[in-house]
């Protein structure tokens, strides 16, 4: 019976060959599909075992991985978590990640192409692979001041401070904020509890209001109208209506000035005075005269409507909405109707004016470092486009100085000229009885701008229905500017 045994042996080898062939199919041909399947957590989990890079700003460590006794090896720790969490985001085993943790992940986990040489040497020397570091453009003193100003009164809202010449983000605050530390806990109970609490929080704590959400800009949008007007034959002395209210073209709807007042003393008001007093009727008329196309073109020139902006976190697109008729343009010209901006976008508008009409790409990452802190890559300032000629920007700056002079609220800085505009934006289904959003956009010093800010305080802050941009948002904006200039920018 040796012949059948030999045949059986051959059959066994055939079976093994079949297994090997199938294994080759699974582990070579289909390997990529299986590895990259979104349901396959292995690649993600491998990251957690590696030493992740740190996030720092101006020498101050904001997020770092510390070795632990438990076997997840590295615990993510955040210094001053809530103040910086809109920037750093969180890094959770269960709930993935957000912010820089998410959008600079290739650098932090070491897989970025710029770290290739380092990885190669890790492989050769047998050193434990570790991620690169991210250095932010943020000035910690400005960030912390902005957070303190917003949170000490329990305001909901956002503050963005930009260096107008480079587009560096000096501060980006969103309040109320969350602490990313419990989300990075190695105890899943703690993680789950924190996640539940963060999601249940009202007002919400997880979104970064500065880039994730859009708000009606109110009167701050008049800067866009003015920029368009100055490039289309208007001068600061062009006369506009000073009526306390007007009826929108082709409708019965009336639009009135704040508190129903006359715009100044005369029958007409100059553009300069209209901006300084923020007269709604004048700008509604101006917008109507300019027309939808010119308003929209100017908005586009400031970057409104761009959906591809990333800092590297993606920035929600701002927009002016549909402008089907003159009434819609008139309404939209005072930053109401469907006009909606992110606080970052509003900061970009003033930064562009401050930089002589040149809009710079806002960015958060200053440098990428290797694990041993040597600089691998530095972000170069990038121009997004020109919003207006330099002389128009300079005229507009002049008008904004007039606006600042008429703006109340504390915190004025002696010896520093601030160019600003306030906004008090109505919203909701019952706008007259809903506390408005208070805005303050500004840059300083006016003659050599070093910082541009946008402050948004939602739902009236501590003044409820009485709130205005000047009374609620302006003091915060000025404090942030003072802090930014103190650093000898």
Partner 1 sequence: MAAPGSGAARPGATNGREGAPALPTGRTIELLLLVFAAVIVTGALVLVEANQEQELTPTLLYVGLAYLVVLTLAHLAVRRFAPYADPLILPSVALLNGLGLVMIHRLDLADQDRAALLGQPLPGSLVFKQILWTAVGLALFIAVLWRVKDHRTLARYGFTCGFVGLVLLALPGLLPSSISEVNGAKLWIRIGGAGIQPGEFAKILLIVFFAAFLVQKRDLFSTAGRRFLGMELPRARDLAPLLVAWGLSVGVLVVERDLGSSLLFFGILLVLLYAATERVSWMLIGLGFFVVGALIAYQLFGHVQVRVQVWLDPFADYANRGYQIAQALFGLGTGGVGGTGLGAGRPDLVPFAESDFIWSSLGEELGLIGLASILVVYLVLITRGLRSALAVRDSFGKLLATGLSFAVALQIFVVIGGVTKLIPLTGLTLPFLSYGGSSLVANYALVAMLLRISNAARAPLTRRPAAPAVPIADAGTELVQRPAVGPTTGPLPGPTGGRP
Smallest gap from Cβ 9 to partner 1, in A, equals 5
CA distance 332 to 222: 10
Window 183-212: residues binding partner 1 (CB under 8 A): 186-189
When the beta carbons of 75 and 79 are compared against partner 1, the nearer one is 75
Question: Among the options 92, 97, 177, 219, which is catalytic?
Answer: 219
Coil vs helix vs strand at 178: coil
Q: How far is CA 380 from the centre of its chain?
A: 19
Q: Quick check: is 96 catalytic? A: no
Window 135-194: residues binding partner 1 (CB under 8 A): 186-189
Smallest gap from Cβ 189 to partner 1, in A, equals 6
Number of residues that bind partner 1 (CB under 8 A): 45
Smallest gap from Cβ 74 to partner 1, in A, equals 11
Stretch that binds partner 1, among 20-28, 169-177, 214-222, 371-379 (CB under 8 A): 20-28
4 scored as a contact of partner 1 (CB under 8 A): yes
- Encoded tokens for 280: 């709604």
Residue whose entry in the numeric block shows the structure tokens 């970025």: 112
Q: b vs e for 258-282, b when ≥16 Cβ sit within 10 Å of the residue's Cβ?
A: eeeebbbeeeebbbbbbbbbbbbbb
383 scored as a contact of partner 1 (CB under 8 A): no
Q: How far is CA 63 from the centre of its chain?
A: 19
Smallest gap from Cβ 181 to partner 1, in A, equals 17
CA distance 229 to 193: 53
Which of 58, 60, 73, 232 forms a contact with partner 1 (CB under 8 A)?
73
CA distance 426 to 460: 10
Stretch that binds partner 1, among 67-75, 78-86, 270-278, 357-365 (CB under 8 A): 67-75
Smallest gap from Cβ 49 to partner 1, in A, equals 8
Which of 59, 70, 124, 433 forms a contact with partner 1 (CB under 8 A)?
70
Q: What is the DSSP string of 406-437?
A: H---S-PPTT---EEEEEEE--SSSGGGSPPE
Q: Which CA distances in Å does 374 have to 113, 114, 115, 118, 378?
A: 16, 12, 11, 11, 11
Site of interaction with partner 1 (CB under 8 A): 1-6, 8-9, 12-13, 15-16, 18-20, 22-24, 26-28, 30-35, 37, 39-43, 45-46, 49, 70-73, 93, 186-189
Catalytic residues: 219
């Amino acid at each position: 019976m040796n012949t059948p045994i030999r045949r059986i042996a051959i059959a066994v080898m055939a079976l093994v060959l079949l297994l090997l062939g199938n294994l080759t199919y699974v582990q070579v041909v289909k390997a990529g599909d299986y590895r990259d399947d979104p349901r396959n957590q292995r690649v993600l989990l491998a990251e957690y075992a590696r030493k992740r890079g740190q996030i720092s700003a101006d020498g101050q460590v904001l997020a770092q991985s510390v070795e632990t006794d438990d076997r997840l090896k590295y615990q993510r720790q955040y210094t001053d978590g809530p103040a910086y969490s809109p920037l750093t985001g969180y890094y959770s085993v269960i709930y993935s990640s957000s912010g820089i943790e998410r959008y600079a992940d290739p650098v932090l986990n070491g897989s970025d192409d710029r770290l290739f040489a380092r990885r190669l040497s890790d492989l050769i020397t047998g050193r434990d692979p570790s991620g690169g570091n991210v250095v932010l453009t943020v000035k910690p003193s400005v960030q912390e001041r902005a957070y303190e100003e917003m949170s000490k009164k329990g305001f909901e809202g956002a503050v963005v401070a930009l260096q107008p010449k480079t587009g560096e983000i000096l501060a980006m605050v969103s309040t109320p904020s969350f602490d990313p530390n419990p989300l990075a806990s190695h105890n899943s109970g703690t993680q789950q509890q924190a996640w539940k609490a963060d999601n249940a929080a009202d007002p919400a704590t997880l979104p970064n209001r500065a880039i994730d959400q859009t708000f009606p800009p109110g009167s701050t949008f008049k800067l866009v109208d003015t920029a368009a007007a100055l490039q289309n034959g208007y001068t600061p002395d062009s006369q506009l209506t000073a009526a306390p209210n007007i009826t929108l073209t082709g409708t019965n709807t009336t639009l009135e000035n704040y508190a129903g007042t006359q715009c100044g003393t005369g029958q007409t008001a100059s553009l300069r005075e209209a901006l300084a007093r923020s007269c709604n009727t004048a700008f509604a008329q101006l917008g109507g005269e300019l027309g939808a196309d010119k308003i929209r073109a100017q908005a586009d020139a400031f970057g409104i409507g761009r959906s591809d902006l990333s800092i590297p976190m993606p920035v929600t697109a701002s927009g002016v909405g549909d402008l089907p008729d003159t009434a819609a343009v008139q309404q939209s010209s005072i930053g109401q109707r469907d006009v909606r901006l992110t606080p970052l976008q509003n900061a970009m508008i003033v930064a562009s004016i401050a930089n002589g009409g040149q809009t710079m790409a806002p960015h958060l990452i200053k440098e990428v470092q290797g694990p041993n802190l040597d600089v691998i890559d530095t972000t170069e300032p990038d121009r997004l486009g020109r919003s207006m000629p330099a002389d128009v920007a300079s005229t507009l700056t002049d008008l904004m100085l007039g606006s600042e002079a008429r703006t109340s609220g504390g915190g004025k800085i002696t010896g520093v000229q601030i160019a600003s505009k306030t906004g008090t934006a109505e919203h909701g289904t019952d706008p007259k009885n809903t506390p408005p959003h208070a805005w303050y956009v500004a840059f300083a010093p006016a003659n050599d701008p070093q910082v541009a800010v946008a402050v948004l305080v939602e739902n009236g802050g501590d003044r409820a229905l009485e709130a205005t941009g000047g009374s609620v948002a302006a003091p915060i904006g000025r404090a942030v500017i003072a802090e930014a200039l103190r650093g000898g920018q």
